[in-house]
Amino acid sequence: MTGNKTQSAPAAARGEPVRQRVLDAAERLLRRGKADFSMRDLATEAGVSFATPFNQFGSKAAIMHALSGRRIETMTRRFAALSPPPDAAGRVLLAIDMAAGVMLEEPEINRVVMGWIGTAGPSPGKVLAHSTTLWSLALGAGDGLAATHRERALRCLPQQLAFAFRGVLSFWTAGELPDEALASQARDIAKTLLLGFTERADTRDAAS
């Protein structure tokens, strides 16, 4: 039986990268409520050998980091498809609403994924880099930011916004923040960060 499964895996994975196949299987297990799935469970679900998830990712924590990366990719793709406001502050707040919406589409699954983000894998994850890219996209060229501080804002705000959104998500993951408060709390933190870089009138407009 083991031999047959090993032989059939390449055919089953044909046309699809093995890493994505493993991640798809992890998503299915989470949707079925199996947050404590083992790597053997994962290999069986993906139709690959027991060693494949380890060879591709190294650990379950790394798989969860990759699933988080998938969510950020979805946020980035959806934001890029929008027609955002012309000012940076408005775009950031729109990105927050969109990002919170992605997390709330499958809250129970996403809480499990977020719960693993603080767990170290065999190598450093890329969640911070992916998240920073999203906020850089939202800030764009910094339209509406104070000209005297725009260069510094574009250099430091993307990572600060990544830290801020991650912080709000951590309390949401722990159940201390209800679903309906996720976006509003993240927006409030973003407004505070933007205050130091945005013209007062623009900040008032973005906050409304």
How far CA 122 is from CA of 59, 60, 108, in Å, comes to 7, 10, 26
C-alpha–C-alpha distance, residues 195 and 200, integer Å: 8
Predicted pLDDT of residue 126: 82
pTM: 0.82
For the chain, what is the largest distance between any 2 Cα atoms, rounded to a whole number of angstroms? Answer: 69
C-alpha–C-alpha distance, residues 68 and 130, integer Å: 9
How does residue 125 score in pLDDT terms, banded at 50, 70 and 90? Answer: low
How does residue 60 score in pLDDT terms, banded at 50, 70 and 90? Answer: very high
Mean pLDDT across the chain: 87
Predicted pLDDT of residue 106: 96
Above 70 in pLDDT, residue 173? yes
CATH class of 2-57: mainly alpha
Count of alpha carbons within 13 angstroms of residue 135, beta-carbon side: 27
Q: Locate all alpha helices (DSSP H) within 81-181, ordered by sequence.
A: 88-105, 107-117, 127-139, 150-173
Q: Which residue has the higher pLDDT, 118 or 50?
A: 50
Sign of the C-alpha dihedral, residues 39, 41, 47, 50?
positive
How does residue 17 score in pLDDT terms, banded at 50, 70 and 90? Answer: confident
Output the CA torsion 61→17→53→23 (10° steps).
Answer: 40
Cβ-contact 125, 58 below 8 angstroms: no
- The letter for the amino acid at 50 is F
Cβ-contact 189, 163 below 8 angstroms: no
- Percentage of residues of the chain with pLDDT beyond 70: 85
Quick one: the chain helix, strand, coil %, rounded to 5? 75, 0, 25
pLDDT, tens digit, for every residue of 182-191?
A: 999 999 999 9
Above 80 in pLDDT, residue 67? yes
Q: Which residue has the higher pLDDT, 123 or 35?
A: 35
DSSP 16: S
pLDDT, tens digit, for every residue of 130-170?
A: 999 999 999 999 999 999 999 999 999 999 999 999 999 99
C-alpha–C-alpha distance, residues 68 and 71, integer Å: 5
pLDDT, tens digit, for every residue of 193-207?
A: 999 887 654 444 444
How far CA 171 is from CA of 30, 50, 85, 127, in Å, comes to 21, 35, 29, 17
Buried b (16+ CB within 10 A) or exposed e, 143-152: ebbbeeebee
How does residue 118 score in pLDDT terms, banded at 50, 70 and 90? Answer: confident
